[in-house]
Chain A
């Protein structure tokens, strides 16, 4: 039996505050949906389990468009099971599993395997991302149609980890995928400008003797791809935007560029969206001084000016959403010298707190804004029908409950991920996920993962 077939028992959330707004309400969940919302204390519990949710904020469950689950191939770093557990503890109800596994998810059989395994685990909806090119090789298109028509219904393709650098191939990918209703998510990194790159090109890298990863390597690809998307009518999603310059390119794409005529079949306009990671919102290359590879990530941590530009862009909607780029690694791949270490950081369990730290406590977003960038917008971008929905009667009960007043100290060893490579180790962060509910069933509660087998 899979999670979607579970008939969940009814739950009454007493005194919860949807979007952190207005007076507390009672929210009754049954058969996977919200069936009643009314003033606190006024809803009759009936057969429902009553949960004291006083003081808690309810948001639609988070959707992560950028997760690395490492299965198949590197089950020593993460599995679909442990990654799902980490996701639900972080308030997520859906994650998109990147294709750069070993073997690469570049065919229908593999994406179906990932999708099916996600359903068996049942903690979050695991949507496989298909590779754009065979083996991430950047030479020929993978069978995008086959993956889109598979049981996994792939709606996002990405060679993430590497850039689709060939402009002709990128053009074809955008054109071809547009009729599939799919999005091409680009890891924007001009490879010729980042040969040997180890850290953000700038003062810090110069001092540390680390070969620079120039901002223009990202910006030039994003500019090129925006032009291609606009002209072809394709859907482009820019992964992990990291520089102030890319933000300016996105503004241009949404404004002056969008006003130019498109040549796409049927005059269908292109569409550009973008994501930012929690770590690029908070951390800067100042962290590199110790050469601790826990801070090594691709694209690299940039400057404070970049983080401020990214925050402003997320608040304004120039960047659509937050995505974690959750990238678990085995100890031997991180506890080594900088150049030998793999890039990547954990992100699922700390994302909300980092977003609150950088966007809410700074006054840039309210809770409705958090719902927009972590749930509604990502779900909309990839066309998920039952995720990122409003908290309203009749809607699916995929929710996250948050204690907005909590503070906690991050410990990688306490993460549900198999890995512990969190750059936030030891940091005290605000807000905490108290519970996550997927279609009416608690998948995480009070810091514990509730598996289907447990809830029987």
Chain B
């Protein structure tokens, strides 16, 4: 594995290996007072975030530090974004300054791919930490890890992904990964929040959350960006909550064993009611914890020289 740009770059074997490595790393660290492995000593990981995301950045930072890598965080504010040359120049600067791995979050779809192209002549690895409305592969991997811990095998499971699929990089990565691992995916959203090419995806599509819930093994709720609410994608937050929000009543429709996932931050009362969010069925903290181990696994396979394939 040279970069992690997209789930589409992984096969089932490589994806499972990453999840297994994350498991192994978690076990290794379990019960330790000093959570530090020497694995990546002397390697430099730079996180470059063109969009705010404390959650994801901190997760990568802790992952790197627990493996003794030097982690440097770079935040580039919104004003310089849109200046196309800045990403390319930043990439070349980081390579020249000696970065071994660049973790990038960027508002443009494909930004991580472009970064990898510009860094092709260097040895620098690129991890996509979210590019526009394209993908967020480590989020999908940590979601899969969370599901695997709760459900055992993912293959043959039926998983609902609910909400703003159109703008969600989390949904794209999850559809690819869950189907790669043998799950059936049902997308539940109003037609305005589904991409127009969705008909060719290996998924089912529904606009009726109530009808779907009884037959699934897990529900993944997606974030609705605040700026979408007045963009005419749906009439109002209230109507969205009524039709697509996960509330107490709907939780009861869900089979006993089925957990609820949410990539956070949650819009309580709209996407998910507090009763659901704070119930034992929501695995939000597990997702965050698994995020660190999973990102350790990704950095390990990219930087410790061990092939995932």
Contact = CB atoms under 8 A, between A and B. Distances in A.
Interface of A: 198, 201-212, 214, 290-292, 332-333, 335-341
B88 interface: yes
Nearest to B81: A340
B132 interface: yes
B114 A336 contact: yes
Given A206-B201, A209-B172, A338 B196 contact: no
Nearest to A291: B110
A220 to B, nearest CB: 16
Contact of B109 (A214, A292, A339): A339
A209 B197 contact: no
Interface in B86-103: 87-88
Contacts of B198: 206
Nearest to B83: A340
8 contacts: A209-B133, A210-B109, A290-B117, A291-B114, A333-B84, A337-B87, A337-B108, A340-B84
Interface string B99-124: 00000001111110110010000000
Contacts of B196: 201-202, 206, 212, 214
A208 B132 CA distance: 10
Contact of A337 (B84, B172, B195, B200): B84
B109 A291 contact: yes
A205 B84 contact: no
B143 interface: no
A251 B172 CA distance: 39
B85 interface: yes
Contact of A340 (B108, B113, B195, B201): B108
Contact of B132 (A201, A214, A339): A339
Given A210-B134, A212-B197, A333-B84, 15 more contacts: A198-B109, A203-B200, A206-B197, A209-B110, A209-B131, A209-B133, A209-B134, A212-B196, A335-B84, A336-B88, A337-B110, A338-B114, A339-B107, A340-B108, A341-B84
B284 to A, nearest CB: 24
Contacts of A209: 109-110, 131-135, 169, 172
B83 to A, nearest CB: 7
B234 to A, nearest CB: 17
B114 A337 contact: yes
A204 B197 contact: yes
A338 B87 CA distance: 11
B280 interface: no
A204, A205, A291, A333 — which one has the most chain B CB atoms within 10 A of its CB? Answer: A291
A207, A209, A211 — which one has the most chain B CB atoms within 10 A of its CB? Answer: A209
A290 B114 CA distance: 8
B305 interface: no
B197 A205 contact: yes
Contacts of A207: 172, 197
B77 interface: no
B235 interface: no
B88 to A, nearest CB: 6
B195 A206 contact: yes
B38 interface: no
Contact of B195 (A198, A205, A333, A341): A205
Contact of A339 (B108, B113, B117, B197): B108
B110 A208 contact: yes
B197 A203 contact: yes
Contact of B108 (A205, A292, A338): A338
A284 B86 CA distance: 29
Contacts of B197: 201-207, 212
B152 interface: no
Interface string B28-59: 00000000000000000000000000000000
Interface in B184-217: 195-201
B107, B109, B113 — which one has the most chain A CB atoms within 10 A of its CB? Answer: B109
A74 to B, nearest CB: 15
Contact of A208 (B88, B114, B134, B200): B134
A290 B111 CA distance: 10
Given A209-B134, A340-B83, A291 B113 contact: yes
Interface string B135-167: 100000000000000000000000000000000
A333 B133 CA distance: 22
Interface in B61-87: 82-85, 87
Contacts of B131: 209
Contacts of A332: 84-85
Contacts of A214: 196
Nearest to B131: A209
A335 B109 contact: no
Contacts of B109: 198, 208-210, 291, 338-339
Contacts of A198: 109
Nearest to A214: B196
B59 to A, nearest CB: 21
A337 B200 CA distance: 26
A211 B110 CA distance: 12
Interface in B16-33: none
